[in-house]
Amino acid sequence: MRIPCPNCPAAIIPGAESCGMCGASLLKEAVPGSAEPVCAVHPEYLSLSACSRCGNFACAKCLRQGPRGEIVCAACHERQPAGLLAWDRREEVGTLRAFWETCLDIMFRPGPTFERLNPEGTVGSSLGFTMLCNFVGYFTTALVYMAFMAVFPMPDETMKADNVDPAAFKAIGAGMFAAMTVLAPLMGVVVTLFSSGVDHLLLRMAGSEHPYAVTLRGNALSQAPYLIGLIPMCGMYVAPLWAVGLRIIAYRHLNAVSWGGAAFGALAGPLLTCFLCGGSYLALFSAASAISG
C-alpha cells in the first residue's frame, strides 16, 4: 500500500516525518475549523492516511507498516507488531506447546489468525510444522491398529492353514506401524512441497505476487487439523477435508488474493489430480472389461 507525498509524486515510508525525495515535512498543521481529517492522537496535525485495522486517522508520527505491507497506526502496530504465531516463537515457549497453541489458533480462529499473520516464514519452519502434523495425524491410529492385532491375534493354526507364516505376519504388522509413524511425516513433507508448488503456480495466475515460501507456509499451517489425529481414525479421514477449507483462508490472507483466487489455488490442484486419477482408473477398468469380454 502506497502513501503519496502531498508535495511530490514520491511514495513515503510509513513512520518518516519528511519525504525522502523532496525533503518536505510530512507534519502539516491542521487549520482550525477545516474539514480535512486530523490525526486521532495528534489533532494538531493533518492525517496522511487511515489505519487499515482500526480506521483511525494518523499523521506521519503515527503511521507504521504492517507485516503484509498494510498501513497501520502505531497503537495497532504495537498490539500486533509482527503477526507471530506461537510456532514462530517455539524457541521461547517450547516446540510442543508452540505446536499445540498454533494448531488451536488455526483450527478455531482461522480468520483473525491468518489476517494478522506475517506471511514470511522459513522453509524449515514450514516443513517442521508439516512433519509434526503428519506424525500426530497417523501415530494414534497406527497404535490402535497394533493394539487391536495384539489383543485379537489371528490364531497360528488359521495362518498356517492359509500358508501364512505367523512370524512373517507379525513382522509385517510391525512394519506397517513403523511405516505409518516414520514414513508418514516424510511423505507429508514431499506431498506438501509438491502441492505447494502447484498451488503457487495457480495463485500466481490469480494475481499473487508473493514468493513460494509464503504459499508453502500457508499450505503447512493449514494442516493444523491433523492434531485431531490424537483421536483414532479422525486424523486420516476428517482432518484432510478440514485442512482444505483452512488452506483457502490461508491463501486469501497470506497471498493477498481474492476469495475466488484463494479457492482456485487451493482446490484446482486436488480436483485436477482426482480427475486424472479417476479418469485413469476408469480407462484401465474399461480396458480390462473389454479384454475379458
The residue among 41, 63, 81 that closes a domain is 81
Q: How confident is the model at residue 98 (pLDDT cuts 50, 70, 90)?
A: very high
**54 and 126 both lie in a single domain:** no
Q: Are 43 and 30 in contact (CB under 8 A)?
A: yes
**228 and 171 both lie in a single domain:** yes
Looking up cell 492525517 gives 47
**131 and 223 both lie in a single domain:** yes
**115 and 217 both lie in a single domain:** yes
**208 and 278 both lie in a single domain:** yes
Q: Measuring CA to CA, how many Å separate 153 from each of 42, 145, 158, 166, 291?
A: 76, 11, 11, 10, 41
Structure-block grid coordinates of residue 177: 506401524
Given the DSSP bridges, would you call strands 63-65 and 57-58 parallel, antiparallel or unpaired?
A: unpaired
Q: Measuring CA to CA, how many Å separate 169 from each of 84, 148, 175, 232?
A: 48, 14, 10, 23
Reduced to 3 states, what is the DSSP secondary structure of residue 2? coil
List pLDDT tens digits, range 18-44. 888 888 888 989 988 888 999 999 999
**197 and 277 both lie in a single domain:** yes
**Per-residue pLDDT at 149:** 67
Mean predicted confidence (pLDDT) in 211-219: 96
The residue among 51, 81, 111 that closes a domain is 81
CATH for 75? 3.30.40
Q: What is the 3-state secondary structure (H, E, C) of 32-65?
A: CCCCCCECCCCCCEECCEECCCCCCEECCCCEEE
**53 and 146 both lie in a single domain:** no
**152 and 118 both lie in a single domain:** yes
The residue among 81, 97, 131 that closes a domain is 81
**Per-residue pLDDT at 190:** 95
Q: How confident is the model at residue 239 (pLDDT cuts 50, 70, 90)?
A: confident
Looking up cell 515510508 gives 13
**92 and 155 both lie in a single domain:** yes
Q: Are 39 and 45 in contact (CB under 8 A)?
A: yes
- What whole-number distance in Å separates Cα of residue 21 and Cα of residue 24? 8
What is the domain extent for residue 207?
A: 86-292
- What whole-number distance in Å separates Cα of residue 263 and Cα of residue 219? 13
Higher pLDDT, 103 or 161: 103
**100 and 67 both lie in a single domain:** no
**Per-residue pLDDT at 167:** 67
Given the DSSP bridges, would you call strands 71-73 and 63-65 parallel, antiparallel or unpaired?
A: antiparallel
Cα 164-165-166 angle, rounded to 5 deg = 105
Q: Which amino acid appears at position 103 of this protein? A: C
Per-residue DSSP letter, 71 = E
Instruction: State whether the Cα torsion 135-137-138-140 is positive or negative.
Output: positive
Q: Are 66 and 85 in contact (CB under 8 A)?
A: no
**11 and 36 both lie in a single domain:** yes
**98 and 227 both lie in a single domain:** yes
Q: How many structural domains is the chain composed of?
A: 2
Q: Are 262 and 251 in contact (CB under 8 A)?
A: yes
Reduced to 3 states, what is the DSSP secondary structure of residue 228? helix
List pLDDT tens digits, range 170-205. 676 667 767 777 788 899 999 999 999 999 999 999
